[in-house]
């Protein structure tokens, strides 16, 4: 059980020498674990997250989530893996503007083949837990920035993913909203026994995670 990342490298082809973005990143996590990844702009943090989330294959190395290497799956298997095993929260919420908050949270259920009454109840329960129980029929434009991020968090958790990935989830928020969203990320991932990886420039957010690692020039190393 857990996440295993072994010696992962990523290069991008260029007209000249290939651009090396990740150089042998290795890490391991267990259910309930939380990890902050910090590092300067361009150091490869988002690249690493997209590999962990099976959005992008590594050039070399191996990723396994609960014993499954997603990059060995066929296209439908890979799509199901991304949808059911991994939750994403980005700096921008990417909520669908024409849909209500509740509908947005149900989108991953629709992608998995339709949403039942039980799904709807679960989505409502999640929205209650993130403090949006009285905003179910609001559209994203009718929410505050922090509320949008909380709705995005509920959406990321609706399929009970094994792994929750957050890329600068509080980057666009004021300090108080950032703190709320940060606490909620941690609390929800603990409750659901989801592994949590957060990329952040915020020292406060990094400090509340169980562990911290730094990416520097594509090299990943533990800090403190």
Ligand X SMILES: Nc1ncnc2c1ncn2[C@@H]1O[C@H](COP(=O)(O)OP(=O)(O)OP(=O)(O)O)[C@@H](O)[C@H]1O
- Residues near ligand X (CB under 6 A): 12, 19, 21, 39, 41-47
- Interface stretch with Mg ion, choices 15-23, 42-50, 139-147, 183-191 (CB under 5 A): 42-50
Closer CB to ligand X, residue 82 or residue 109? 82
- The span from the CA of 157 to the CA of 190, in Å, is 12
Look up tokens 């603990």; give the residue. Answer: 190
Burial class (CB in 10 A: 0-12, 13-18, 19+), 151: buried
Closer CB to Mg ion, residue 46 or residue 202? 46
Angle at 107 between CA 101 and CA 113, to 5 degrees: 150
Shortest distance, position 203 Cβ to ligand X, whole Å: 15
Burial class (CB in 10 A: 0-12, 13-18, 19+), 105: buried
Strands 3-12, 60-65: parallel, antiparallel or unpaired by DSSP? antiparallel
Q: Which does 176 bind (CB under 5 to 8 A by kind): ligand X, Mg ion, none?
A: none
Closest residue to Mg ion in the complex (CB): 46
Strands 211-216, 219-222: parallel, antiparallel or unpaired by DSSP? antiparallel
Closest CA to 143 of 191, 96, 89, 187: 96
Asked if 202 interacts with Mg ion (CB under 5 A), we say no
- The span from the CA of 100 to the CA of 103, in Å, is 5
Q: Which does 12 bind (CB under 5 to 8 A by kind): ligand X, Mg ion, none?
A: ligand X
Asked if 47 interacts with Mg ion (CB under 5 A), we say no
Q: Which does 182 bind (CB under 5 to 8 A by kind): ligand X, Mg ion, none?
A: none
Shortest distance, position 19 Cβ to ligand X, whole Å: 5
Alpha helices (runs of H) in the chain, residue ranges in sequence order:
45-52, 75-85, 101-111, 117-129, 145-157, 175-191, 203-208
Shortest distance, position 47 Cβ to ligand X, whole Å: 3
Closer CB to ligand X, residue 108 or residue 169? 169
Six-digit token string for 152 = 């995005």
- The span from the CA of 70 to the CA of 81, in Å, is 7
Closer CB to ligand X, residue 42 or residue 77? 42
Asked if 46 interacts with Mg ion (CB under 5 A), we say yes
| # residues contacting Mg ion (CB under 5 A) | 1
Q: Which does 207 bind (CB under 5 to 8 A by kind): Mg ion, ligand X, none?
A: none
Closer CB to Mg ion, residue 149 or residue 192? 149
Closer CB to ligand X, residue 148 or residue 214? 214
Site residues (vs Mg ion, CB under 5 A): 46
């Amino acid at each position: 059980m857990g996440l295993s990342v072994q010696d992962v490298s990523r290069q991008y082809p260029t007209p000249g020498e290939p651009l090396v973005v990740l150089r042998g990143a290795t890490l391991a996590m267990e259910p309930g674990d939380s990890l902050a990844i910090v590092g300067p702009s361009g150091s490869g943090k988002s690249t690493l997250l997209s590999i962990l989330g099976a959005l992008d294959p590594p050039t070399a190395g191996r990723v396994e989530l609960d014993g499954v290497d997603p990059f060995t799956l066929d296209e439908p298997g890979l799509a199901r893996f991304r949808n059911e095993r991994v939750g994403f929260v980005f700096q921008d919420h990417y909520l669908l503007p024409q849909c209500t908050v509740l509908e947005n949270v149900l989108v991953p259920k629709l992608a998995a083949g339709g949403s039942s009454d039980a799904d709807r109840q679960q989505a409502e329960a999640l929205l209650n837990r993130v403090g949006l129980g009285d905003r179910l029929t609001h559209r994203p434009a009718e929410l505050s920035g922090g509320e949008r991020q909380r709705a995005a968090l509920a959406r990321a958790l609706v399929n009970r993913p094994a792994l929750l990935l957050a890329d600068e989830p509080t980057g666009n928020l004021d300090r108080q909203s950032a703190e709320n969203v940060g606490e909620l990320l941690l609390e929800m991932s603990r409750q659901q026994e989801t592994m949590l990886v957060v990329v952040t420039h915020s020292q406060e957010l990094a400090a509340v995670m169980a562990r911290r690692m730094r990416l520097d020039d594509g090299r990943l190393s533990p800090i403190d």
